[in-house]
Structure formats: structure tokens, C-alpha cells
Structure 1
């Protein structure tokens, strides 16, 4: 009976070692759980969050509509979607795809959250404080706020591992 039990323990140790060897890249700490590609709640953009030094940043890597449509007016129709609501006129012509809109997030192990970050809202050109929680490995809740967390709003993002679909502007001919 003891020999059987000992073999069982050795087998479990070998399985555990093999499982650890197959874990994805990264340091495996809870802090890195935020890294990856996240589909925003409106399902029209994907944000890639990655570590940069001791903080985490996020940038737009895909948009459903990466070009303006006819509904945006004849002067914009067919042109690449830009940061047109930015308060700085010099930045209004930069494309949204590739734009960094999250920065400065630090992992707080006690709160199990990424805190002290900033988020840029491309819809109004304003920056807000933000924090992020992961209620599950594939669900992210971002809370943007002014001053205190009570003065803000939240949005839910879903982790995506899928290739990004063709953007609306990519499917049409270049104009």
C-alpha cells in the first residue's frame, strides 16, 4: 500500500511539473493576468494591454470602423478615423488604430486590481483616472472616474484570442 501511495505522489509531481512547463509566457503572477487583447463592450474595438516597465498600458489594435462612413459627412467619408475630439488641434489628425488610451496602471495585490491609471476617451477627448478589476480570467471591468471612484462609470471588456475580423474600411477599396 505504501509503495502504491508513493508512486501516486511521484506521478502527481510529474504531472504538476509538466503543467508548469506548459504555462504561457509571462511571469505567471496575478499582475500579468491583465495582459492580452480585450474586446470592448460595444464590440467595435480591441485593446491590447501589455506591461511597460512596472506599469501596464493599452492601445487600440483593431477597430470595426477604421474609416469614416458617409454618415460622417462628405469631407470625412472614406478617410481613416482619427482622434478628432482631442483638445489639442495638433493631435486631431492622428489615427485611432495604434493610439495608446490606457497608461500608468499598477497592480495592487491587496485590492486585486490595477490602479492609479489613466484612460483617454476618444469620444470626447478627455482623460480620466481609472482602475481595472478582473472578475474572471476572460472578463475585465474598467472604471473611469473623476477624483473618486464614485464619480465615474464602468465598462466590461471580454478577452479575445481570435484573429480580428476585417475592418469595414479594410474591406473597401482605398480612397
Structure 2
């Protein structure tokens, strides 16, 4: 019985740690990108957190027929003329709070422009608000992505 307070403390710490890891991982996985202008589905992207805690996003599938086989023609430098499928277009985001990531960059393959990025996992974890902006978040555009389930 003497060890009961220690056991409770251990279980509390274990719960807190598993909660922290699950929230970091909650954003990981496959997401369907939705065009913020016409509401159509554009692609499937995979979000991953690396061993340094940075989140990145890679296009794994293009959903529009006309986009299949497309290259990043307007993209700068190392992105120039790379296939869109397999392109890491979002990188460097770090966890700010539960379900919130910021401090990274996002490439718009359509225009070739790179923006600051932040994202927020929405209630229930089945949608994600992704915002690209210049300078401050006020000057930008948001998209809501849906969690992909095959």
C-alpha cells in the first residue's frame, strides 16, 4: 500500500506522455487537399513528423486527371520541373500547441510561390486548416483538408 501514491504518479506521467505523443502524431497521415476556390479534391498528401520534430508534407497522389504527370514548371530552384507526385511541398513546421503547427513553409505548385505556413487540426481530428501567408497570417489564404481513409 505504501507504493500506491508512486503508482498513481507513474500512471499520471505515463498518460501525459502518451497524450503528448498522440497529439503530435494525430496530424500525421494522409490528407485530401481541397481547392479553396472551387471545393474540388486536388491531391492526397502525406504529413510526417521527422525525428527532430519537424512536420513536412509530400504529394502522394494527384486526383485530377489533367494534373497526372504534371511537373512543377513555375517552381523555383530545386523544385523546378520536378514531378508533382512525390514532391515535398511543405516543410519545417514545428508543434506550437496541441494540434497546432507553425514556423514552416509551403510551396504553391500552381504559382511556384513559397509562403509561410501554419496548420491546425480541427475538432475531431478529421479535418485540418492549412494557411499559407506572407509576413503575418492576416495576409494569406486557408484551405481545409480532409483526412484520407482508403
Which bracket does the TM-score occupy, shorter chain normalised?
Answer: 0.7 to 0.9
- Counterparts of 1:146-165 in structure 2, within 5 Å, are 146-162=134-150
Using the alignment, how far apart are the partners of 1:93 and 1:132 within structure 2? 27
Contact map agreement 2:27 2:99 (CA 8 A) in 1: no
Using the alignment, how far apart are the partners of 1:112 and 1:160 within structure 2? 17
Using the alignment, how far apart are the partners of 2:76 and 2:49 within structure 1? 28
Q: Tell me the residue number matched to 2:132.
A: 144
Q: State the number of aligned residues.
A: 126
C-alpha change, 1:58 and 1:91, in structure 2 (3 Å) is closer
Contact map agreement 1:142 1:154 (CA 8 A) in 2: yes
Q: Tell me the residue number matched to 1:55.
A: 54
Q: Tell me the residue number matched to 1:38.
A: 31
Using the alignment, how far apart are the partners of 2:109 and 2:101 within structure 1? 21
Using the alignment, how far apart are the partners of 1:131 and 1:118 within structure 2? 8
C-alpha change, 1:91 and 1:128, in structure 2 (3 Å) is closer
Measure how far apart 1:161 and its partner are: 1.6
Using the alignment, how far apart are the partners of 2:56 and 2:79 within structure 1? 19
Using the alignment, how far apart are the partners of 1:114 and 1:33 within structure 2? 12
Indicate the RMSD between aligned Cα atoms, in angstroms. 2.3
Unaligned runs of 5+ in 2: 1-14, 35-39
Contact map agreement 2:45 2:61 (CA 8 A) in 1: yes
Using the alignment, how far apart are the partners of 2:148 and 2:99 within structure 1? 21
Measure how far apart 1:87 and its partner are: 3.2
Q: Tell me the residue number matched to 2:88.
A: 100
